[in-house]
Amino acid sequence: MRLAASVTHVARAPTRIRHRATSSIMANGVGVGVVDAHVHVWPSENEHDYPSKDKVPPCPGAYADLIEAMDATGVRGAMIVQPINLGFDHAYVQKAMEAHPGRFVGMCLANPAAGERGVSDLKALLAPNGAFRGVRFNPGLWPEGERMDGAVGRAMFRVCAEAEPPAVVGFMCFHGLHLHLDQIRALCLAEPSVPVLIDHFGFCKGMDDPNFAELLRLGHDFPQVHVKASAHFRVTTCDNSTAAQLKALLDVYGSSRIIWGSDYPFVTMEDGGYVGAVNILKDQVGDDEELLTELRGGNFAKLFPGAIEQA
């Protein structure tokens, strides 16, 4: 396979970082339980005037339904990522967080096309004691000819660095990690204190995807970079292909920089639904309960300290 040849140039993290002592995990706040690091919520057509048909959600996504699904599967908390169909109107996500304090934390959506106003809007959303603790960078929202590591993107990264604790930046590289890798690297170099989350296995489809080796190199070169083992259905190429990807990620990122997420409610339209998404890592890591605890809540608690309350 192509990956086998390319990965030989990536240094492996020492095995010892993959399994921490339980006392160390608890000291870092893992007691929140299972946390879903990637969900979306949105109102129905009856509740919200969507500007066009392509913005109408493909399935129900009310936050009340999400809470019901979480309660049924033992998920304590979740990070709501602002959905693209709501644009930069964060009111519904804010309403969800206000309705369920301690169970939701928000990741807002950067508005680079607004220039300096987009930077000031981000600063307001990440205000101290606010419910938004992260920001999503969607490369497709940058105006044509501008780059994420341009003046606006760097100013937004500075806002994240100045937050207390530093706000987490999530990258959604839907059309391919290779298209944006140099920009992500430049931003990481500019603001090494800003934690970074790469969504959905970097959208790398299987072990043979050349971008997967680049995702491993990114983790080797930048300790601030974390990966979401999320939305498995978006990247799977064959039975259990994401299990092989997870193992390779653990070899390079270690157990402390990988975080589970479901991509609710999109996952409800897939075989297995939300229950399957909650249980998939349990199937993939086997009997390693300590590792499972880290991936499904412990690492999130360390990256977003105090964001989710213990039950």
Q: Is the pLDDT confidence value at 10 over 60?
A: no
Q: What is the greatest pairwise CA distance in the chain? A: 54
Residue-wise pLDDT tens digits, 66-123: 999 999 999 999 999 999 999 999 999 999 999 999 999 999 999 999 999 999 999 9
DSSP helix/strand/coil, 205:
coil
How far is 297 from 200, CA to CA, in rounded Å? 17
Strand partners, 35: 77
How far is 41 from 82, CA to CA, in rounded Å? 8
The vertex-39 CA angle with 210 and 19, nearest 5°, equals 65
Q: Is the pLDDT confidence value at 25 over 70?
A: no
The first and second tokens of residue 261, run together, are 């997420």
Residue 2 pLDDT level (bands cut at 50, 70, 90): very low
> Domains along the chain?
2-13+21-301 (3.20.20.140)
pLDDT for residue 239:
81
The first and second tokens of residue 135, run together, are 């920001």
How far is 54 from 37, CA to CA, in rounded Å? 26
The vertex-72 CA angle with 247 and 261, nearest 5°, equals 30
The vertex-180 CA angle with 178 and 184, nearest 5°, equals 120
How far is 140 from 150, CA to CA, in rounded Å? 14
Residue-wise pLDDT tens digits, 239-288: 889 999 999 999 999 999 999 999 999 999 999 999 999 999 999 998 89
Contact partners, residue 144, CB within 8 Å, separation at least 6:
none
